[in-house]
Copies of this chain bind each other. A is one copy, B any other.
């Protein structure tokens, strides 16, 4: 099954553009991912302003991907789910957001979800979907945007923040930025912590894989 994936970070290196797609393909070998990125957002989405700016760009890319008749579903690879609601109404194929996928999978795994995010940007969709199961949100210090997650200190900072969330009662951790996926932080946290750690890109692959399994040949 062919899936279109939209990166909300402007990148020029094809390998970087394809990074989330490769994560999904490695986890779900039956999925083949075609990735595209939006233009003129070199720092991605990190606040409400950059989210608003991205929405029409994501919508345009999704419409253009949907013109490829081999593409059967679209993933918007951003935990803020920019333009996802609009695209669900507009396009005739399933469109899913990493934010709602993350929140849905986390909801099934925990009862009191701690959300780790970048800066002060806790995506509205994550709060909304988690609802009563949201325990607490925490923005990482010194991480203003997705690129800052590449710093050497990011894993240690994420681990410290996740430990605080768990000490205060969270029974699962949701990573509310797909930049966490880019640098593989879920696996690193999972090795150290005794609770489920949910990765947004893997969560979106998990949701889409349900379609591939029932689509048949």
Task: Tell me whether A190 is interfacial, beta carbon within 8 Å.
Answer: yes
For A, the interface residue count at a CB cutoff of 8 angstroms equals 39
**Given A111-B88, A216-B187, A207-B27 contact (CB < 8 Å):** no
Inter-chain contact A108/B96, CB cutoff 8 Å:
yes
Q: Is the interface of A mostly helix, strand, loop or mixed?
A: helix
**What's the Cα separation between A85 and B131 when bound, in Å?**
17
Which residue of chain B is the closest to A197 with respect to CB atoms? B214
Question: What is the total number of copies of this protein in its complex?
Answer: 2
**What's the Cα separation between A100 and B107 when bound, in Å?**
8
**Given A216-B187, A216-B190, A210-B105 contact (CB < 8 Å):** yes
How far apart are A73's CB and chain B's nearest CB, in angstroms?
9
- Which of B104, B189, B191, B194 is in CB contact (< 8 Å) with A104? B104
**What's the Cα separation between A104 and B129 when bound, in Å?**
10
A residues in contact (CB < 8 Å) with B: 27, 85, 88-89, 92, 94, 96-97, 100-101, 104-105, 107-109, 111, 129, 131, 186-187, 189-191, 194, 196-199, 202-203, 206-207, 209-211, 213-216
How far apart are A115's CB and chain B's nearest CB, in angstroms?
16
**What's the Cα separation between A92 and B198 when bound, in Å?**
18
How far apart are A217's CB and chain B's nearest CB, in angstroms?
9
**What's the Cα separation between A194 and B196 when bound, in Å?**
34
